[in-house]
Chain A
Amino acid sequence: MASDNQKIIRHAGIDRAFHWVMAAIMLVLLATSLLPMLGVRFAWYGVHWVSGLLLTVIIALHVLRALFWQKPRGIMIKPSDLKAGGAGKYTLAQKLMHQAWTVAVLVAIVTGLLLLRKAGVPFLERDPYVRSMASWGIITLLHDLAALLSVFLVLVHVYFAILPEKRAYLRAMTKGFISRSDLAREHDLNRVDRGE
């Protein structure tokens, strides 16, 4: 029988590295796209597309790791998540945050990769005529909406991460460990032990 103070590994080092690298890249992407809109003028495009490609690579690695080394069903929302104290590894709120980030980041990546053709990068010649102006407008609209959703999500995500009662999750994302007593507040430890 495990003791309440027993520490268990919540996030492996590679997953914590993914998280913090993704976070840093997202902040660079938001800064390089939104600061010019706020009147801060600088050569943003080079940093933006390089950061976007880095994010694409990191997300691809994250998806591969989730599919082949982890249990991707663990992040899916299940009826038992709606029961107080019934969460598995992740609470309903954590799952919803992940799904929202998934939408924002995947839309930003797909539309961003398409927009590389319109704007041009050293390895891909600029050719805005491969699509109609109306199509580019819709792609840009989706890219913009992903950026706006990301602004909202950064605020909410950081707020919940620094709340005192959620500090154990933040510690787990920096050091990797969480105690069973911290998990017992919102999680069903039987589900956690089963790897759900």
Chain B
Amino acid sequence: MNLLRFGHDSYGNRIIDGASWDLLPVAFWAGIAVIVVHLVVRALRRGKGGG
């Protein structure tokens, strides 16, 4: 997985072009992970009668 996109300037030097779009599913699944973790913690607290 790449973190960055690279291109070349007019002198042939390698330059950063932006973020790699490999990170799009990472952002999506990070959001899903937070939701799942919260749902699990919420269920455990309710199981213990913590509301």
Which A residues are closer than 8 A to B by beta carbons?
34, 37-38, 132-134, 137-138, 140-141, 143-145, 148-149, 151-156, 159
Q: Which of B9, B17, B21, B27 has the most CB of A within 10 A?
A: B27
> Chain B 30-49 against A: per-residue CB contact (8 Å), 1 yes, 0 no?
11101100100000000000
User: Interface on chain A toward B: helix, strand, loop, or mixed SS?
Assistant: helix
**B35 contacts which of A38, A144, A145, A159 (Cβ < 8 Å)?**
A159
Compute how far the CA of A155 lies from the CA of B31 in the bound complex, rounded to whole angstroms. 6
Residues of chain B with a CB closer than 8 A to A137's CB: 7, 15-18
Residues of chain A with a CB closer than 8 A to B38's CB: 159
> What's the nearest-Cβ distance from chain A to residue B50, in Å?
12
> Chain B 15-31 against A: per-residue CB contact (8 Å), 1 yes, 0 no?
11111010110111011
Q: How many positions in chain B have a CB within 8 Å of any CB in the partner chain?
A: 22
Compute how far the CA of A149 lies from the CA of B27 in the bound complex, rounded to whole angstroms. 7
Which B residues are closer than 8 A to A by beta carbons?
4, 7, 9-10, 13, 15-19, 21, 23-24, 26-28, 30-32, 34-35, 38
Compute how far the CA of A154 lies from the CA of B24 in the bound complex, rounded to whole angstroms. 13
Residues of chain B with a CB closer than 8 A to A34's CB: 24
> What's the nearest-Cβ distance from chain A to residue B31, in Å?
3
Residues of chain A with a CB closer than 8 A to B18's CB: 137, 140-141, 143-144
Closest A residue to B38 by beta carbon equals A159
Q: A144-B19, A152-B31 are in contact. Are A132 and B9 (CB under 8 A)?
A: yes
Residues of chain A with a CB closer than 8 A to B9's CB: 132-134
> What's the nearest-Cβ distance from chain B to residue A68, in Å?
34
**Can you name 13 A-B pairs with beta carbons within 8 Å?**
A37-B24, A133-B9, A133-B15, A134-B13, A134-B16, A137-B15, A141-B4, A141-B17, A145-B19, A153-B31, A154-B31, A155-B34, A156-B34
